[in-house]
């Protein structure tokens, strides 16, 4: 059994090879790409020697990422890859050095030792099929954009609270199309108080709201009520930022919707889409996030069982 620590950077990898007793067998800085991967395979072959049969050897690798061509190449080569969370690595580093000092070579040693002693506490990367990997890519970005939208909404809420709190009372959801349209049209208390029922109704109708007359009247009443105000120049500055955030949120809404369609399309092309969709309470998005496929490893290499992971 062989253990490898891989401290990766954008253009290189610091690696250390270790045997089952914790003895360092080799270390090197490898370039990213095919040349680096070829050198890693050569190091593994040299460390194992000529008398070891390939079908009885297991190579375990600790690395602080679970994605990218390098990781996929490691999995395709038959290595067992353990993606280590940076927080896990930091805690393990404290066990090896009181100072907690961080360096590339030391981290490679730490990751190799972690794969040697704590692999039973880690979760290995599944050998996903190409279809499953595509689902994972679009699903991850869909989730990331939803997070970005939430952050933008919080920034918008904070800005409105500082100079235009009536907007928070008038609009229930700051991320919806009608709210964003009205904030772009009237981003300050003075212009908002001038909004007519018809202008508000048009935005609500475009967003396919129900009970438009009642909602439009309620919004107008709140916007025209007396409220505390900031100086005009400060209000104008906040209005500029609110317009920018509203435009950003409008774009994020559009892209979240587009990526949701891509998630549905990619999951629909997956051979197990019908089985995934038949699970109780598991819709398309949750099904895509939870979906993983166990894929056979190259011939001659024993394949461990991989647990399902949620992306």
* 78 occurs within a structural domain: yes
Domain count, the chain: 2
> Residue 52: pLDDT band by 50, 70, 90 thresholds?
low
Residues 158 and 57 occupy one common structural domain: no
What token pair was written down for 147? 């997070």
**Looking at the predicted structure, is the pLDDT value of residue 297 above 60?**
no
- Per-residue pLDDT tens digits for 21-48: 999 999 999 999 999 999 999 999 888 8
pLDDT for 131? 75
* Lowest-pLDDT range of 2-16, 130-144, 287-301: 287-301
pLDDT for 47? 87
* 110 occurs within a structural domain: yes
Residues 196 and 251 occupy one common structural domain: yes
> Residue 49: pLDDT band by 50, 70, 90 thresholds?
confident
- Per-residue pLDDT tens digits for 140-170: 899 899 999 999 999 999 999 999 999 999 9
**Looking at the predicted structure, is the pLDDT value of residue 273 above 80?**
no
Residues 77 and 148 occupy one common structural domain: no
* 235 occurs within a structural domain: yes
> Residue 10: pLDDT band by 50, 70, 90 thresholds?
confident
Residue 112 domain boundaries: 2-125
% pLDDT > 90, the chain: 53
* 207 occurs within a structural domain: yes
What is the average per-residue pLDDT within 97-120? 82
- Per-residue pLDDT tens digits for 57-93: 789 999 998 888 898 889 878 899 999 988 888 888 7
Last residue of a domain, one of 104, 125, 146: 125
Residues 116 and 166 occupy one common structural domain: no
Residues 150 and 105 occupy one common structural domain: no
C-beta of residue 8 within 8 angstroms of C-beta of residue 65: yes
**Average pLDDT of the residues of the chain:** 84
* 9 occurs within a structural domain: yes
Residues 6 and 112 occupy one common structural domain: yes
**Looking at the predicted structure, is the pLDDT value of residue 249 above 60?**
yes
Any idea what the CATH number is for the domain that residue 45 is in?
A: 3.30.420.40
Last residue of a domain, one of 76, 94, 125: 125
> Residue 265: pLDDT band by 50, 70, 90 thresholds?
confident
Give the distance, in angstroms, between the CA of residue 184 and the centroid of all CA atoms in the same chain: 30
Three-point CA angle 178, 184, 187, nearest 5°: 110
> Residue 286: pLDDT band by 50, 70, 90 thresholds?
low
Question: Which of 95-104, 205-214, 259-268 is predicted most confidently?
Answer: 205-214
d(CA 171, CA 155): 15
Give the distance, in angstroms, between the CA of residue 178 and the centroid of all CA atoms in the same chain: 29
Residues 16 and 89 occupy one common structural domain: yes
* 287 occurs within a structural domain: no
Residues 102 and 147 occupy one common structural domain: no
d(CA 60, CA 80): 5
Last residue of a domain, one of 248, 266, 284: 266
What is the average per-residue pLDDT within 175-186? 95
What token pair was written down for 176? 């919806």
pLDDT for 165? 94
Strand order in the sheet with 12-18: 24-31, 12-18, 2-8, 59-63, 80-83
C-beta of residue 63 within 8 angstroms of C-beta of residue 81: yes
d(CA 210, CA 215): 8
HSE, CB side, 13 Å, CA atoms: give it for residue 270: 28
d(CA 309, CA 226): 53
The two counts, helices (H) then strands (E), for the chain are: 13, 5
Residues 146 and 229 occupy one common structural domain: yes
Residues 117 and 184 occupy one common structural domain: no
Residues 147 and 120 occupy one common structural domain: no
Residues 38 and 97 occupy one common structural domain: yes
d(CA 189, CA 133): 49
pLDDT for 54? 54
* 297 occurs within a structural domain: no
pLDDT for 279? 66
Question: Minimal CA–CA distance to 62: which of 74, 52, 73?
Answer: 74
Q: Write down how long the chain is.
A: 311
* 295 occurs within a structural domain: no
pLDDT for 92? 82
pTM equals 0.65
């Amino acid at each position: 059994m062989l253990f490898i620590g891989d401290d990766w950077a954008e253009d290189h990898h610091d690696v250390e090879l270790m045997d089952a007793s914790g003895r360092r067998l080799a270390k090197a800085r490898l370039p990213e790409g095919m040349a680096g991967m070829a050198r890693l395979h050569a190091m593994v072959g040299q460390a194992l020697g000529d008398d070891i049969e390939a079908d009885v050897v297991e190579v375990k690798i600790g690395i602080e990422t679970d994605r990218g061509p390098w990781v996929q190449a490691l999995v395709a080569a038959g290595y067992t890859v353990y993606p280590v969370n940076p927080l896990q690595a930091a805690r393990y580093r404290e066990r090896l050095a009181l100072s907690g000092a961080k360096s590339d070579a030391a981290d490679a040693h730490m990751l190799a030792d972690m794969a040697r002693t704590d692999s039973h506490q880690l979760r290995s990367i599944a050998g996903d099929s190409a279809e499953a990997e595509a689902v994972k890519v679009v699903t991850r970005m869909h989730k990331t954009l939803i997070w970005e939208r939430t952050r933008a909404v919080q920034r918008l809420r904070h800005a409105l609270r500082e100079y235009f709190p009536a907007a928070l009372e008038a609009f229930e959801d700051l991320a919806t199309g009608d709210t964003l349209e009205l904030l772009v049209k009237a981003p300050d208390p003075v212009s908002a108080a001038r909004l007519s029922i018809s202008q508000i109704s048009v935005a609500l109708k475009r967003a396919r709201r129900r009970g438009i007359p009642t909602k439009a009247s309620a919004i107008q009443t709140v916007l025209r009520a007396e409220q505390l105000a900031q100086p005009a120049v400060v209000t104008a500055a906040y209005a500029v930022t609110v317009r920018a955030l509203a435009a950003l949120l409008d774009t994020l809404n559009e892209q979240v919707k587009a990526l949701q369609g891509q998630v549905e399309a990619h999951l629909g092309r997956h051979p197990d889409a019908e089985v995934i969709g038949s699970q109780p309470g598991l819709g398309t998005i949750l099904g895509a996030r939870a979906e993983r496929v166990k894929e056979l490893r190259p011939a001659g290499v024993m394949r461990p069982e991989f647990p399902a992971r949620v992306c």
